Chain A
């Protein structure tokens, strides 16, 4: 075969790395990818259109379904925008509880992505162990919120479910037993020489490319971009300003760095959860100020597991939002595949695509 002859290899739209659809049209020379075209739109559900026809409380239910993994981040970000417009102050206890679910969500999301990376690499046992640990986190979230996914935890001005003393005790016990199990898994991955050699230097996104392509979350932090909304911006609906944790930043921008950032972020999330359980403030979980949402614009930002999420809400004084714009983190991260996949081996495409933790449903809304 002529090595310089280009060949177009379509992959997808069925199941590239995740059970979600996207089509990659790879222009290849031999085994090397020379050009990429991404085709999306397969799971567009017109959620912004739906939101323009639903009242605020129905809207919370709809935005929970934007993403099956970040189904706490989306409603939290949405209600935070509405609270900003109506100048509603969220009780401190509710802010802590939102943060608690948010960090559990981060852990289960990162466990899922690491499990998928292990599966792609052929480490089936590690895949099962990571998924098992994730299942335990999901059980814990069900115990706290009453739901395994789509938690129905948020409402405008606070949260819908409190944690009583005995429940806090039970959650603490679960966290104490889950933490060593997950830390052991983290150590197993980070000390596995085969896994390291298979992911090191693959799918590099340089610092400059990460800046140019405006990527967010673990993908940006793995390329050395010091960006974490939990530390960088005010989140009046969350309690991060009262909690101690570190940003996890790596330098190399390869698949290994992205895996490392997610694993080490789980360590920080456990730190945050333990502080929340120890210092959970007493008081109400829902504001006493119930006012109609006036005409205005609310811009809300939230650090979802995959990176910065933004909701831009415009209200007109009725109980239906005039316009809600959702920018999920995967919207910019997936676009970066246009650059990350260039000059990579075709055999690594699935691994690299998986390493940016793409959520195709989230980004297409």
Chain B
């Protein structure tokens, strides 16, 4: 998988950082990768763990260190199509298990970038 998200999460945990949320979006400058940011509160200041993933790429889950990340990671998987390690197939959905367009936010952001490029 080639990233050390878990180690960095452990370092933050040891410093006393509290997990807040995970944000993902298609890189608006290049349009070729998905930016994933885990956001933490460290004594009132925000800290971010930032990674970029290829389309359908995989990232290491930090659920082992911060259990509350589970729903956020599952949400990123279903909205953007990237994978976090350690989730069985039936847990890859969270909000859209009843159906709908796959990876809706990835699609809308792709369209925005195309529109910007070609007018």
New contact pairs (12) apart from A212-B67, A310-B20, A316-B112, CB-CB < 8 Å: A40-B71, A40-B94, A44-B95, A52-B105, A52-B112, A215-B68, A232-B44, A233-B44, A308-B20, A323-B23, A331-B71, A335-B71
Give chain B residues whose Cβ lies under 8 Å from the Cβ of A299. 39, 46
How many B residues are at the interface, by size bracket? Answer: 20 to 34
A41 and B98 in contact (CB under 8 A), knowing A53-B108, A323-B105? yes
B66 pairs with A52, CB closer than 8 A: no
On chain B, the residues within 8 Å of A331 by CB distance are 21, 71-72
* Residue of A whose beta carbon sits closest to that of B108: A52
A40 engages B105 (CB within 8 Å):
no
Those of B74-119 within 8 Å (CB) of chain A: 93-98, 104-105, 108-109, 112, 116
State whether the Cβ of A364 lies closer than 8 Å to any Cβ in chain B.
Answer: yes
Separation of A229 and B43 alpha carbons in the complex (Å): 11
Cβ of B107 to closest chain A Cβ, rounded Å: 9
State the 6 A-B residue pairs at the shortest beta-carbon distance, nearest first: A327-B21, A44-B95, A214-B68, A323-B25, A41-B95, A214-B19
Residues of A near B71 (CB, < 8 A) are: 40, 331, 335
Q: Contact: A46 with B104, CB < 8 Å? A: yes
* Chain B residues, Cβ within 8 Å of A227: 18
Chain B positions within 8 Å of A49 at CB level: 104-105, 108
Main secondary structure of the interface of B (DSSP, over half): mixed
Which residues of chain B have a CB within 8 Å of any CB of chain A? 18-21, 23, 25, 28, 39, 44, 46, 66-68, 70-72, 93-98, 104-105, 108-109, 112, 116
A9 at the interface (CB under 8 A from B): no
Tell me, yes or no, whether A213 is within 8 Å of chain B by CB.
yes
* A182 vs B49: C-alpha distance when bound (angstroms): 45
- Contact indicator per residue, chain A 213-257, by CB within 8 Å of chain B (1) or not (0): 111000000000001000011000000000000000000000000
Whether the Cβ atoms of B66 and A214 lie closer than 8 Å is yes
Task: Say yes or no: A40 contacts B95, CB within 8 Å.
Answer: yes
A332-B94 contact, Cβ under 8 Å, with A322-B25, A323-B105: no
Chain A: interface residue total (CB-CB under 8 A) = 32
A107 cross-chain contacts in B, Cβ below 8 A: none
Partner of A214, one of B18, B44, B96: B18
Do A325 and B44 contact each other (CB < 8 Å), given the known contacts A213-B68, A335-B70? no
Name A44's closest neighbour in chain B (CB-CB).
B95
Known: A48-B105, A52-B112, A322-B28. A211 touches B21 (CB 8 A): no
Report if A41-B28 is in contact (Cβ < 8 Å); known contacts: A49-B104, A53-B108, A335-B71: no
Q: Is A151 close to B, CB under 8 A?
A: no
Q: Which of B21, B66, B93, B98 contacts A325 (CB 8 A)?
A: B21
A232 to B45 alpha-carbon distance, docked (Å): 9
Contact B20 A364 (CB under 8 A): no
Q: Which residues of A contact B94 (CB under 8 A)?
A: 40-41
Q: Mostly helix, strand, loop or mixed at chain A's interface?
A: mixed
The reply to whether A364 and B67 form a contact with Cβ atoms under 8 Å apart is no
Cβ B28 vs Cβ A314 within 8 A? yes
A312 an interface residue at 8 Å Cβ cutoff? yes
User: Is A211 touching B18 in the complex (CB atoms < 8 A)?
Assistant: yes
CB of A314 within 8 A of CB of B21, answer no
How far apart are the CA atoms of A213 and B13 in the complex, in Å? 12
Residues of B within 8 A of A48 (CB): 105
A89 CB → nearest B CB, Å: 21
Which residues of the other chain, A, contact B21 by a CB distance below 8 angstroms?
A: 310, 312, 325, 327, 331
User: Which of A227, A314, A322, A331 has the most CB atoms of chain B within a 10 A radius of its CB?
Assistant: A322
Contact of B23 among A39, A232, A325, A335 (CB under 8 A): A325
User: Which A176-230 residues have a C-beta within 8 angstroms of B?
Assistant: 211-215, 227
What is the 8 Å Cβ interface bit string for chain A, positions 134-168, against chain B (1 contact, 0 not)?
Answer: 00000000000000000000000000000000000
Q: In the bound complex, what is the Cα–Cα distance between A312 and B105 (angstroms)?
A: 15
Bound-state Cα–Cα, A312 to B21, Å: 10
CB <8 Å contact, A322 and B70: no
Q: What's the minimum C-beta distance from B94 to chain A, rounded to whole angstroms?
A: 6
State whether A214 touches B20 (Cβ < 8 A).
yes
Kindly provide the distance from the CB of A112 to the nearest chain B CB, expressed in whole angstroms.
25
A residues 83-111 in Cβ contact with B at 8 Å: none
Q: Which residue of A lies closest to B65 (CB)?
A: A212
Q: From the candidates A214, A310, A322, A335, name the one contacting B109 in the complex (CB within 8 A).
A: A322
